[in-house]
Amino acid sequence: MKLLLKKALPTAKQFAKLVAQQTIGRFPPPTARLTGKLAKDGGTPVRNTRYRPWAGGPGGGLRDWTGSVGPAFRDIFRSGIEGLPQSRQKEFAEAWAKFCGCQHALMLPHGTDALRLALAAVFDTDGLEYGGEVIVPNLSFIASATAPLDRRFGVAFVDVDPDTLNLDPKRVAEAVIPGKTRAIMPVHQFGQPADMTALRAIAQQHGLKIIEDAAQAHGAVWETGPVGSLGEAAGFSFQSAKNLTCGEGGILTTNDPLVFERAYSLHNAGRTLAAGSRWEHATLGWNCRPTEYQAALLLHRFSRFEQQQEVRARNFQRLRELMADIPCLRPLSVHPGVRRHGMYMFVMRYQAEHCGGLPIEEFLQAVGAEGGPFYRCYASTMATQRAMQRVQARHPDYIRVLPTPVADQAAGEIVYLSAGVFLGTSADMEDIAAAVRKVAAHYGGRR
């Protein structure tokens, strides 16, 4: 016990930094920081993040460890039951299914696992032959394409809506090939639900299935219901950057008991959901079982997830208001069908013409020097990624690229703020807007 306490104590350097943050960080910052010389040129930054760090990830203090997480981990460790029979995983899955308005959920090691098992379970395929084509947006994380390819489905890259950057239903309708197209995989991009009303109508017209990529949309709600419940199946991610995380993890949701049974068998080496012998394998399957430690961490963090989302929502809205008069960064529109945004990322499109033509990388460097926590997002479309081009060269029948001018342009413009920043304060949002405003004012007149 003494050794554990000793290890928990901060070093002298860490202690000094903490003291500085608790003292200097509380002093009112000088007003000169808002104007004048840019920080990259020797001026005072809008926010000195050494003393005023931004809010971060899930974190957790000593109280969280001693009161909940530590005892749970200890119980798992001492019991020796760290995997099957998955009691904590089942507990979390039941809670998540209810949260998403679903009958079933299956916890998995990664969000990509959730997507590929969802496809395999919905179509009852073993992935040993070509499965048809899945329509995906050309602007997304690459797992939206690699998951179908892993199960030997082809992918059709389709353009996105210019206002939301979600899958454009008009382009989806144009992309359908009867007899070849099997499914639509809408990505609820950056926490905003895709237009599921229009996409569902297209799916019903052509007899297609919908597998939601909800990796970024924890808690988001469309006009017809929560994401995760709007298709035949859905996949969520609990990777370390997500609003709810256990470092790595995922979950599949569905309202179809047969899809759930198939997915369970796929994730448990082909064993059936009904109790059976350890050595009996009814279908082709894999070991995609997560650990009880992941489930314990998710159960703890899920207990405060809604509270955190409320904080994020207030700060999201506040920043949208503050950014309204800064033309060089344009926040994405929110579709009127969205009842609740998942607030995974705050994404904006950089308009260089309103910042003296400054290239995006130089803009990010200038704002970063002012303390603004901005980053590039999807600097290229999926179809132009080397991985996809290699697949297309070797297996041309598996890749179809439709014209995607909106996605192509957006890939050179979009920047984001991470969800962790929005666990801060309204004053934090004012500093973010001030950093952008200062840089925009400096370069605005340059031609």
CA distance 190 to 270: 34
CB contact at 8 A, 182 and 154: no
Q: Please, what sign has the CA dihedral across residues 70, 71, 77, 83? A: negative
Check pLDDT > 50 for residue 342: yes
The whole-number pLDDT of residue 274 equals 84
CB contact at 8 A, 126 and 265: no
CA 106 to chain centre: 18
Domain range summary for the chain, segments of one domain joined by +? 63-302
Query: DSSP string spanning 147-163?
Result: HHHHTT-EEEEE-B-TT
Residue 22, C-beta contacts closer than 8 angstroms, at least 6 positions apart = none
Check pLDDT > 70 for residue 241: yes
What's the rounded mean pLDDT across residues 409-435?
96
Check pLDDT > 70 for residue 19: no
Query: DSSP string spanning 270-282?
Result: T--SS---TT---
The whole-number pLDDT of residue 33 equals 73
Check pLDDT > 50 for residue 90: yes
The whole-number pLDDT of residue 26 equals 53
pLDDT tens, residue by residue, 105-157: 999 999 999 999 999 999 999 999 999 999 999 999 999 999 999 999 999 99
Coil/strand/helix, residue 105: strand
pLDDT tens, residue by residue, 159-171: 999 999 999 999 9
The identity of residue 154, as a single letter, is G
The whole-chain average pLDDT of the chain stands at 92
Check pLDDT > 50 for residue 7: no
The whole-number pLDDT of residue 2 equals 41
What's the rounded mean pLDDT across residues 355-383?
96
The whole-number pLDDT of residue 31 equals 64
DSSP 66: I
Three-state SS string over 228-248 comes to: CCCCCEEEEECECCCCCCCEC
Kindly indicate whether the domain formed by 63-302 is annotated with CATH number 3.40.640.10. yes
Coil/strand/helix, residue 315: helix
CA distance 228 to 220: 9
Q: Which residue has the higher pLDDT, 439 or 30?
A: 439
The first and second tokens of residue 26, run together, are 């509380």
CB contact at 8 A, 203 and 154: no
Burial environment of residue 72 by CB neighbours within 10 A (0 to 12, 13 to 18, 19 or more):
middle
The whole-number pLDDT of residue 29 equals 61
pLDDT tens, residue by residue, 174-220: 999 999 999 999 999 999 999 999 999 999 999 999 999 999 999 99
What's the rounded mean pLDDT across residues 376-391?
96
Coil/strand/helix, residue 438: helix
Check pLDDT > 60 for residue 9: no
The identity of residue 103, as a single letter, is Q
What's the rounded mean pLDDT across residues 420-433?
96
The whole-number pLDDT of residue 4 equals 42
Of 51-65, 287-301, 321-335, least confident by mean pLDDT is 51-65
CA distance 139 to 48: 34
The CA–CA distances, whole Å, from 255 to 67, 214, 233, 259, 260 equal 35, 15, 7, 8, 8
pLDDT tens, residue by residue, 73-87: 999 999 999 998 889
The whole-number pLDDT of residue 346 equals 96
CA distance 116 to 235: 9
CA distance 340 to 193: 8
The whole-number pLDDT of residue 3 equals 41
The whole-number pLDDT of residue 351 equals 96
CB contact at 8 A, 139 and 158: no
CA distance 252 to 261: 12
DSSP 124: T
